[in-house]
Amino acid sequence: MNWITGFHAVEEALAAGRPLDRILVAKGRHGERVEEVVRLAKSRGVPVRFEDRGQVDRATGTREHQGVAALAAAKPAVELEDLLAAKGDGGLLVLLDGIEDPHNLGAIVRTSLAAGAQGVVIPERRAAGLSPAVARSAAGALEHTKVARVPNLVRALMDLKEQGVWVYGFEAAASKSYTELDYSAGCALVLGGEGRGLHRLVREACDQLAHIPLRGPISSLNVSVAAGVVLYEVVRQRSLRLDKPVVPDHSQRSG
Amino acid sequence: MNWITGFHAVEEALAAGRPLDRILVAKGRHGERVEEVVRLAKSRGVPVRFEDRGQVDRATGTREHQGVAALAAAKPAVELEDLLAAKGDGGLLVLLDGIEDPHNLGAIVRTSLAAGAQGVVIPERRAAGLSPAVARSAAGALEHTKVARVPNLVRALMDLKEQGVWVYGFEAAASKSYTELDYSAGCALVLGGEGRGLHRLVREACDQLAHIPLRGPISSLNVSVAAGVVLYEVVRQRSLRLDKPVVPDHSQRSG
């Protein structure tokens, strides 16, 4: 149990988007600073509980908590370098350009793990953090997935490209279909935020762009559905490569 | 604008899960029956607004509303027969065996339309109705998608099979992968509820069962993601069939 105590430390943890399980506020503690912590916690999806001061003492193991304490989540974010194991064949990363809905982020973490990705990269700002709401939607997958929070997504894309990772961005306006890309080498899939798509600099940093074909009067898929469609195209292409080595057609016919 | 007025009619519409845009209650109207309507509306995701009685008069065009009125949503459910256009080649239906989360239902309606499906079939009971929450998640797709609510999903599966539609069920325990199924003929994809999967009788009514391969400690995907993965495998297989007629290998090499 990793308790963060006192206003300054709790405010910093919230501002940095550190994954927090919950926040305790001692009953009887009031004022603007408490309200600010509660407001921030709400915006991050961190539950707040009001407890007797004695209970906060016991939970945190100290009396030096100023009546406010945050329980750090088990899952810390990793560094981008920790994900570079993905640079070889079979490597697979997912980069999210500003996904704000924690349910979508959770579902994408879950699908990424299920599809064999090594990790997920999210920006530090203007994006859902690793909140309990994300963990719930990830249905256990968050504990097993490496998630890197980076200060600058474009910089992260550049670093990945320097390491030999192919960077593929997905957006409706691209001319190629996602099924036409070659996912055999290590690659990073970049998906944009709900209803907004990729930022210009992110788009320009991609090696290739592709779309998911849409019929009817539909301009986009839900981003977690789009991530699933592309991730499982990677799985499909790679399983073909592994299970069915290229052989002349006549040998297949005789089989 | 299709207004339903009076306690009895509004209660019935709510109980039947009819898609409702909103409910108006005249200010000053109190009592158990109002509370029951508000409670039911909440459970169905239908917003309730309290308005002056004069405004309710004007909105509904009558004074005979007992202080309660519901605005029927533009989108009524269709009959299963309306979906049987899907029985030929290129036909595609999605059947949902007890999806309770309106966000998932909405995302599936959206993806179904984007993938070219003719419609979605949902059971009348123990499932999310066509609420405004579903319409929001569907992001406009609900207005363009035929959704049939059937009293008995197994009966609907039997009817579809009699009409020559192939019925494919998806669950983790199936031995085949979803990519091994042949989606060229008209087919119906059956997906189970979150964390529960297909009911036994539904599973037994399917022509074939298949799974989506999952790595790591993951037992299932979010159901709207799973629907997207399978729907886009159908799109992929069918586009191969249409765009790229089977030709001998050497002709491809010379191209």
pLDDT tens digit sequence for A8-44: 889 888 887 777 878 999 998 888 899 999 999 988 8
Nearest CA in chain A to B178: A236
Q: Which of A218, A235, A244 should one mutate to test binding to chain B, selecting the residue with the greatest count of B CBs within 10 A?
A: A218
pLDDT tens digit sequence for A128-172: 666 667 777 887 788 788 888 888 999 999 999 999 999 999 999
Question: Across the beta sheet with A20-26, what order do the strands follow?
Answer: A3-5, A68-72, A20-26, A48-51
Q: Look-up: residue for tokens 């003492």?
A: A57
Position with higher pLDDT, A114 vs B196: A114
Query: Residue B254's pLDDT is what?
Result: 35
* B139, B141, B232 ranked by CB distance to A229: nearest: B232
Query: B154: part of which helix (H) or strand (E)?
Result: helix B153-162
Nearest CA in chain B to A105: B222
Q: What does the DSSP assignment read for B202-229? A: HHHH-SEEEB----SS-----HHHHHHH
User: Mean pLDDT across chain A, nearest whole number?
Assistant: 85
User: Mean pLDDT across chain B, nearest whole number?
Assistant: 85
Going by the DSSP 8-state scheme, the letter that residue B82 receives in this structure is: G
Query: Do B111 and A225 count as a contact with CB atoms less than 8 A apart?
Result: yes
pLDDT tens digit sequence for A70-84: 988 756 668 888 887
Using only the alpha carbons of chain B, give its radius of gyration: 22
Is pTM beyond 0.80 here? no
The residue type found at B65 is H
Q: Are B169 and B206 in contact (CB under 8 A)?
A: yes
Tokens for B1? Answer: 């604008």
Does position A45 have pLDDT exceeding 60, yes or no? yes
Nearest CA in chain B to A253: B248
Residues above pLDDT 70, as percent of chain A: 87
Cα(B237)–Cα(B255) distance, integer angstroms: 22
Q: Where are the beta strands (DSSP E) in A127-193?
A: 146-150, 166-170, 187-192
Position with higher pLDDT, A3 vs A2: A3
Q: So what's the ipTM on this one? A: 0.71
Give the mean model confidence (pLDDT) for residues B214-229.
92
Position with higher pLDDT, B55 vs A137: B55
Cα(A111)–Cα(A122) distance, integer angstroms: 15
Going by the DSSP 8-state scheme, the letter that residue A197 receives in this structure is: B
Residue B144 CB neighbours (<10 A): 14
The residue type found at B197 is G
